[in-house]
Amino acid sequence: MTAENHIENAVKDLFENLKFTEEPHGLYDPLRYMMEIGGKRIRPRLCLLTYSLFKNDMTQAILGPAAALEVFHSFTLIHDDIMDKADVRRGVPTVYRKWDENTAILSGDVMSIESYKLIAQAPAEVLPKALELFSTTAAQVCEGQQYDMDFEDEESVPMEDYLKMIGLKTAVLIACSAKMGALIAGADENICDHLYRYGYDLGLAFQIADDWLDTYSDPKVFGKAIGGDILNNKKSWLMTRAFEKAGNRRAELLDAMAMPIESDQQKAEKIKTVIGIYDSLGICEEAKAEIIRLHSQAMANVAELDLNPEAVAALENYAKNLIGRTK
């Protein structure tokens, strides 16, 4: 069995066997529902990957913290869906739609607490550092969400502010996952810090790739209709870069953002108009180039470490799988 298959099997078994308290059902059933609807599991997979670079065993000392990363991520999604008034998540009703808003808030809260119980399974000798890393990251994710909400009231935002927001909301948890595995495996501080930067750069690339996919992907491959960011006037990388380059076309871009979306025809027309502006400004290719640059930057952090070729190849393969859908 290859190391990659070993990790895949470990992730599969981990979430098939993850248990929560049974009662009250109104509190814990939404947790089980959220974990059962799946997801890419990119965070626990990365945590187990960086752990496996230094150790071969897959005990609860690493499986618990790996699960914590996904449980915490799922908690943020429950609350995000309430704030975004999202009806569907991964093809099924969101928790607050299936139950109600109060249940979703409370279940999200207890899910956050469950993630700390899982982190606490880390070995005693690294537990203080693991808790510090996890707690810092958890606060940063909330900070990123606040910036994202603040941006809703802005006509446009500087690219620097957008990158700070996605760094906090998305990249830090992927970076934490990369560092957590190495930390629990006993890797030295230099290795842990380089893997954190690898994860952070990949996290930025992952979010920009997601922005790109929302506009330019094949809906059959993406798994949902494209153009959602455009319809919601979301401050994506593409929209942010378009405002940077718009110049005397700024009014044209603002007019496109203000187009009505009451009917399906109006929605399609708005998406077509905004994509037309993007294409004329070269935004599509710039986004792809930025994703490639960040991918290369992530691997440059790995190149500075004295890892064997198999380890480097595993990290490269993970990066390609994470962001390769834009190529």
CA 72 to CA 313: how far, in whole Å?
Answer: 28
Provide CB contacts within 8 A for 326, sequence distance 6+: 209, 212, 213, 216, 217, 287, 288, 291
> Do 320 and 203 fall into the same domain?
yes
Identify the DSSP state of 92: E
Q: Which pLDDT score, from 0 to 100, does residue 18 have?
A: 92
The pair of structure tokens assigned to 50 is: 């960086």
Domain boundary (165, 187, 209) is at 187
Q: Which pLDDT score, from 0 to 100, does residue 241 have?
A: 98
pLDDT at 324 over 90: no
Number of separate domains in the chain: 2
- pLDDT, tens digit, 9 for 90 and up, residues 7-19: 989 998 899 889 9
> Do 219 and 161 fall into the same domain?
no
pLDDT at 158 over 50: yes
Q: Which pLDDT score, from 0 to 100, does residue 223 have?
A: 61
pLDDT at 157 over 90: yes
Confidence of residue 174 (pLDDT cuts 50, 70, 90): very high
Given a contact cutoff of 8 angstroms between Cβ atoms, the answer to whether 116 and 169 are in contact is no
State whether residue 154 is helix, strand or coil: coil
> Do 126 and 167 fall into the same domain?
yes
Task: Report the percentage of the chain scoring pLDDT > 70.
Answer: 97
> Do 281 and 211 fall into the same domain?
yes
Residue 21 C-beta-side C-alpha neighbours within 13 Å: 12
Summarize the confidence of residues 121-138 as an average pLDDT. Answer: 98
Q: Which pLDDT score, from 0 to 100, does residue 1 have?
A: 57
Identify the DSSP state of 263: S
Q: Look up tokens 């009451």; give the residue.
A: 262
CA 323 to CA 295: how far, in whole Å?
Answer: 8
Given a contact cutoff of 8 angstroms between Cβ atoms, the answer to whether 130 and 186 are in contact is no
Q: Which pLDDT score, from 0 to 100, does residue 44 have?
A: 97
Given a contact cutoff of 8 angstroms between Cβ atoms, the answer to whether 294 and 208 are in contact is yes
Q: Look up tokens 């990249």; give the residue.
A: 171
> Do 181 and 208 fall into the same domain?
no
> Do 122 and 162 fall into the same domain?
yes
- Sheet strands (E) in the chain: 88-89, 92-93
Q: What is the DSSP string of 175-211?
A: HHHHHHHHHHHT--HHHHHHHHHHHHHHHHHHHHHHH
> Do 63 and 95 fall into the same domain?
yes
Residue 269's domain comprises 188-327
> Do 133 and 109 fall into the same domain?
yes
Q: Which pLDDT score, from 0 to 100, does residue 87 have?
A: 86
Q: Which pLDDT score, from 0 to 100, does residue 222 have?
A: 64
CA 166 to CA 229: how far, in whole Å?
Answer: 15
Q: Partners of 92 in the beta sheet?
A: 89
> Do 126 and 202 fall into the same domain?
no
Q: Which pLDDT score, from 0 to 100, does residue 219 have?
A: 73
CA 145 to CA 165: how far, in whole Å?
Answer: 8
CATH of the domain at 137: 1.10.600.10
**Main-chain phi, psi angles of 275, to 5 degrees:** -60, -35
Closest CA to 148 of 211, 68, 215: 211
- pLDDT, tens digit, 9 for 90 and up, residues 201-256: 999 999 999 999 999 988 766 666 789 899 989 999 999 999 999 999 999 999 99
CA 159 to CA 225: how far, in whole Å?
Answer: 26
> Do 240 and 315 fall into the same domain?
yes
> Do 178 and 321 fall into the same domain?
no
> Do 20 and 157 fall into the same domain?
yes
Cα angle for residues 227, 229, 231 (degrees, 5° grid)? 70
**Which DSSP helix (H) or strand (E) runs through 88?**
strand 88-89
Domain boundary (187, 214, 241) is at 187
Q: Mean pLDDT over all residues of the chain? A: 94
- Out of 22-31, 100-109, 216-225, 316-325, least confident range: 216-225
Given a contact cutoff of 8 angstroms between Cβ atoms, the answer to whether 159 and 31 are in contact is no
Measured CA to CA in angstroms, residue 276 lies from 49, 65, 279 at distances of 41, 45, 5
The pair of structure tokens assigned to 97 is: 């739609």
**Main-chain phi, psi angles of 81, to 5 degrees:** -65, -35
State whether residue 112 is helix, strand or coil: helix
Q: Which pLDDT score, from 0 to 100, does residue 327 have?
A: 44
Given a contact cutoff of 8 angstroms between Cβ atoms, the answer to whether 195 and 182 are in contact is yes
